[in-house]
C-alpha cells in the first residue's frame, strides 16, 4: 500500500516498461498492435472489485442474461482497500472500479493492463475530459475506461441539524459532537485541506492534494481536533446509511449514493456542496493484468458504458454519467434528473470539483517538497488512532 519515494521511482520505471511493451511506441490515438482487436465469447464469469452500489441487480442481471457472464462483486470501502485487493488477489479479480487516487498506483504497480478503446463503441460519446484523463491514460495508452463521476457532499439530518448548514465548518464544530461521521480514508485529508484553503489563505494551499509539510500538518491538526467529535469513521457507504437511520449520526461527509438510498427509505436528509467547494471522484473500470475473464470484462465495460445503463447507475448512485447520450434516458427514468446530477452541466462544473488524485512529492509548482501518499497514510493513522 505504501507509495514511498523508492516505490514511486520503481513505478515510473514500470510505466515506461509497460508502455514500451504494450504500446509499441504508439502515441495518443494509435491503437497498440498488442491489444485485442475483437471481443471473443464470454468465459462465463466476471470477478469485480467495486464501490458499493456499482453492481446493482437492475443492471447486473440483464447483463448476465445477455452475456452468460455471471458477476461476482467484492465491495471495497476505500481506494487503499481496492489497491490491496488487486495486489494480493493472485489473479482472483478481473476488474476494479478505481478512483483517481488509486488508478495510477495500480498502473505503476503493474496490477492493470492497457485496454483498447476501439472495442468500446460508446467511448466516442464520453465527455471530453474523461476520454483520456491523466488518472487512467499514460503516454496515450489507456489503462481503463472511465465510468461515472461526482462530488463528495455534506449530508445532514434536516430535522436535527438546524439551521441548514452551508459550510464544512459544521463537521469541525463541537455543536454536533458525537454525531459526526466521515470516511475512514487518508484522502479525507484533502477535504480538510480544501476547507483550510478557503478559511486560512495564509497557508497558501492551491491544490488539496499537493501539500507541503507545513500545509499537511495544518490539515492534520484540524482533523485531530475533529477526532473527539466523530461518532464513527465509516468504511462502507452502508455503514454511514445505518448511522443516519439509527440516529447515531446526524451530519457527515458522504457520497450521493448514501443520500439517494436514505431518501428512498424516506429518511429526513439533505445533501449540499458547501461554500468552500468539494472534492470528488472520477472512476475507471480497469482490467487486471492477469484477468482470467477478459472477454466478459470487455462485455461488462460496453454494458455499463451504454447510455441506458449509464443513466440507471447515475440515478441509483446519485452521480454523473460519462456518456453524453445518457441524459435522455435519465429523463425517462426520473424527470429532471439530468439537471440534478449535472449530466448536462457546462465544463465549468466539472472543472470546479477537486478530483481525487494520488499525492506525490512532485508539486505542481515544479518543486519536490510536497508530502507523498505514504506520509498521508501515516498521518491518517495518527488521526484515527
pLDDT digits (tens, 9 = 90+) for 340-382: 888 998 888 898 899 999 999 998 778 899 999 999 999 999 9
- Residues 22-41: tens digit of each pLDDT: 333 333 344 456 899 999 99
Distance CA 82, CA 360 (A): 19
What's the angle, vertex CA 239, arms to CA 238 and CA 240, rounded to 5? 90
Tell me the whole-structure pTM to 2 decimals.
0.83
pLDDT at residue 13 greater than cutoff 60: no
Domains of the chain: residue spans and CATH: 5-149+281-352 (3.40.190.10), 153-277+360-384 (3.40.190.10)
pLDDT (average), residues 242-254? 98
- Residue 334's pLDDT is what? 93
How does residue 302 score in pLDDT terms, banded at 50, 70 and 90?
very high
What's the average model confidence in pLDDT over 246-252? Answer: 98
- Average of per-residue pLDDT values in the chain: 91
Cell 495508452, residue located: 141
pLDDT at 2: 30
In the structure, what pLDDT confidence band is assigned to residue 90 with cuts at 50, 70 and 90?
A: confident
For residues 343 and 325, give the distance between their C-alpha atoms in angstroms, rounded to a whole number.
Answer: 9
* Mean per-residue pLDDT, 192-199: 98
Q: With a cut of 60, say whether residue 7 has pLDDT above it.
A: no
Q: Work out the angle between the directed axes of helices 307-317 and 294-305 (0-180°, nearest 10).
A: 80
Q: What angle do CA 334, 340, 344 make, to 5 degrees?
A: 100
Longest dimension (CA), the chain: 60
The more confident residue out of 289 and 16 is: 289
What is the rounded radius of gyration, in angstroms, for the C-alpha atoms of the chain? Answer: 20
**pLDDT tops 90 at residue 279:** yes
pLDDT of the residue at 325:
97
d(CA 377, CA 374): 5
Buried b (16+ CB within 10 A) or exposed e, 216-228: bebbbebbeebee
Listed range (15-29, 39-53, 70-84, 157-171) with the worst mean pLDDT: 15-29
**Confidence (pLDDT) at 367:** 85
Asked whether 69 and 63 are in contact (CB, 8 A), the reply is yes
pLDDT at 32: 58
What phi and psi values does residue 339 have, to the nearest 5 degrees?
-75, -40
pLDDT class of 18 with cuts at 50, 70, 90:
very low
Amino acid at each position: 500500500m505504501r507509495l514511498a519515494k523508492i516505490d514511486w521511482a520503481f513505478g515510473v520505471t514500470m510505466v515506461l516498461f509497460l508502455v514500451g511493451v504494450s504500446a509499441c511506441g504508439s502515441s495518443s490515438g494509435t491503437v497498440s498492435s498488442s491489444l485485442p482487436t475483437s471481443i471473443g465469447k464470454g468465459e462465463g464469469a466476471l470477478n469485480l472489485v467495486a464501490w458499493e452500489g456499482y453492481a446493482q441487480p437492475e443492471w447486473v442481471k440483464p447483463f448476465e442474461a445477455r452475456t452468460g457472464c455471471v458477476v461476482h462483486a467484492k465491495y471495497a470501502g476505500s481506494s487503499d482497500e481496492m489497491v490491496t485487493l488487486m495486489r494480493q488477489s493472485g489473479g482472483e479479480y478481473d476488474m476494479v472500479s478505481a478512483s483517481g487516487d488509486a488508478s495510477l498506483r495500480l498502473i505503476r504497480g503493474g496490477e492493470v493492463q492497457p485496454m483498447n478503446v476501439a472495442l468500446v463503441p460508446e467511448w466516442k460519446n464520453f465527455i471530453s475530459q474523461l476520454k483520456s484523463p491523466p488518472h487512467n491514460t499514460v503516454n496515450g495508452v489507456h489503462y481503463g475506461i472511465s465510468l461515472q463521476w461526482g462530488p463528495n457532499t455534506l449530508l445532514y439530518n434536516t430535522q436535527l441539524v438546524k439551521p441548514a448548514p452551508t459550510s464544512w465548518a459544521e463537521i469541525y464544530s463541537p455543536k454536533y459532537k458525537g454525531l459526526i461521521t466521515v470516511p475512514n480514508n487518508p484522502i479525507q485529508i484533502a477535504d480538510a485541506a480544501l476547507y483550510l484553503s478557503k478559511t486560512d489563505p495564509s497557508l497558501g494551499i492551491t491544490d488539496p492534494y499537493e501539500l507541503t509539510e507545513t500545509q499537511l500538518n495544518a490539515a492534520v491538526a484540524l482533523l485531530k481536533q475533529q477526532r473527539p467529535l466523530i461518532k464513527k469513521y465509516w468504511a462502507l457507504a452502508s455503514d454511514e446509511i445505518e448511522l443516519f437511520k439509527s440516529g447515531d449520526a446526524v451530519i457527515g461527509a458522504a457520497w450521493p449514493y448514501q443520500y439517494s438510498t436514505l431518501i428512498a427509505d424516506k429518511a429526513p436528509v439533505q445533501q449540499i456542496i458547501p461554500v468552500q467547494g468539494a472534492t470528488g471522484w472520477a472512476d475507471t473500470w480497469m482490467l487486471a493484468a492477469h484477468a482470467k475473464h477478459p472477454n466478459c470484462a470487455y462485455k461488462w465495460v460496453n454494458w455499463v458504458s451504454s447510455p441506458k445503463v449509464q443513466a440507471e447507475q447515475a440515478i441509483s448512485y446519485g452521480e454523473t454519467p460519462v456518456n453524453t447520450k445518457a441524459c435522455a434516458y435519465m429523463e425517462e427514468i426520473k424527470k429532471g434528473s439530468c439537471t440534478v446530477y449535472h449530466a448536462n452541466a457546462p465544463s465549468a462544473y466539472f472543472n470546479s470539483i477537486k478530483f481525487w488524485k494520488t499525492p506525490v512529492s512532485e508539486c505542481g509548482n515544479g518543486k519536490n517538497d510536497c508530502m507523498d501518499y505514504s506520509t498521508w497514510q501515516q498521518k491518517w493513522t495518527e488521526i484515527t488512532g
